[in-house]
Each structure stands twice: as structure tokens, then as C-alpha cells.
Amino acid sequence: MAPPSKITLMACRRQEIFRHCLAERPNEACGLLAGRGERVERVYLARNKEQSPVRYEIDPADLIRIFRDIDDSDLELVGIFHSHVFTQAHPSQTDVRLAYYPDALYLLVSLMNEREPVLRAYTILDGQISEVEVVVEP
């Protein structure tokens, strides 16, 4: 299954992601998005095992808990998000190297301007990065 060509989420879910990313500063924040097709129905906030401003790894206990809930809720993994505290919302070389879920979108939040975080989404397939549209509904 190929990743969706766009991702759709409610404004309140985008705000939930932004709040989590801002709260975790100076470290990168992370989490998963579940839904159906391109539509995000649930945001899962996770702990960054790395506790680092330049790297993230979703805590394994959180990953197990989240995937169980996604399965129990009859949803599917739509995307993985994390923040870039000091850089643009674009995948780094490390992000590309560690992109283990080819069917998921990778969402990045730039906190360079903390008053106006930026959210962008990408596919990462075989080292190739392609930006996809983020549709935010009221």
C-alpha cells in the first residue's frame, strides 16, 4: 500500500501536535497519527526516548501501547510526526535514513518561530523525499 498523496486533519488536532512539540522544547517531540486513508482521526503523543534537541526515537513502551490502540480501534497508521526545534520542517538526512514505515507519511513541525510553528508532510521512499499537501479543516 502506498502512502496517501495528502493528509487531512482537523485544526484542533494540528493544535494538539503544536502544543506537544512546544511543551517538549528544547528536545524534539514525537508521536503517531492514526485514521483511515488520508484522514487523521487520532493523535498519539509519545515520549522521545532520546531526550535530544536533534534526534528522536519513540519510546518503545509508547509504541506498543499506541499500536495496540490503533489496532483495537480498527484504525491504521497514517503518519509519524516529530519536531525540529532549530531548523525547517524538512526531513534531515537522519530522518531519511530512519524512515522505516514506507506506507506512512512523515510530518515535521518547525519550531524556529515558536509563535507560528510550521507543519509539513512528506513521503520518504527509498531515500526519496516528496512533499504532500496538508489540509487543515476547521
Task: Return d(Cα 13, Cα 10) in angstroms, integer.
Answer: 5
pLDDT tops 90 at residue 132 = yes
Question: φ and ψ at 67, to 5 degrees?
Answer: -65, -35
2 has pLDDT over 90: no
pTM of the complete model:
0.95
What are the C-alpha distances in Å from 56 to residues 1, 2, 72, 106? 26, 24, 26, 13
List, for residues 98-109, the tens digit of each pLDDT value: 999 999 999 999
Q: Residues 76-86: what's their mean pLDDT?
A: 97
CATH architecture of 6-137: 3-Layer(aba) Sandwich (3.40)
Q: Which residues contact 108 (CB under 8 A, 6 or more apart)?
A: 81, 82, 83, 84, 89, 90, 91, 95, 119, 120, 121, 122
The residues facing 130 across adjacent strands are 123
Report pLDDT for 4: 77
**Residue 57: exposed, middle, or buried by beta-carbon count in 10 A (0-12, 13-18, 19+)?**
middle
Percent of the chain with pLDDT over 70: 99
Distances (CA, A) of 11 to 40, 119, 138: 11, 12, 5
What are phi and psi for residue 96, nearest 5 degrees?
-65, -45
